[in-house]
Amino acid sequence: MRQAALATGLLGPGMIGLTLGYSIFIVRGYMGRRLVSHECRHVYQYETHGSIAAFLPIYLLQIATVGYVNAPFEQDARAHELESC
């Protein structure tokens, strides 16, 4: 799992934010409006899909097939981040 997360770009040295359910983790020194809005969009995505349990398999499949940067949920979060700032 770790290798897959690293290979697809889900985890790595460039990761500065992570959302798990309603918990948002941000690396110290990176707190900003864009990042918070990006992570809040993931919370919205969880809610839209009914739960994190329903969202996660879709999200992980996206990352496994097209990579983190091109995953539709990530593209949506980036678009929301740009719209809100």
pLDDT digits (tens, 9 = 90+) for 42-62: 999 999 999 999 998 999 899
Q: Where does the pLDDT of residue 84 fall: very low under 50, low under 70, confident under 90, or very high at 90 and above?
A: low
Task: Please report how many Cα atoms fall inside a 13 Å half-sphere around the Cα of residue 58, on the Cβ side.
Answer: 14
Average pLDDT over residues 55-84: 91
Handedness of CA 66, 53, 15, 44 (dihedral sign): positive
Domain ranges (residues) in the chain:
2-84
Q: What pLDDT score was predicted for residue 8?
A: 75
Q: What pLDDT score was predicted for residue 41?
A: 96
- Which of 69, 16, 19 has its CA nearest to residue 44? 19
Q: What pLDDT score was predicted for residue 39?
A: 96
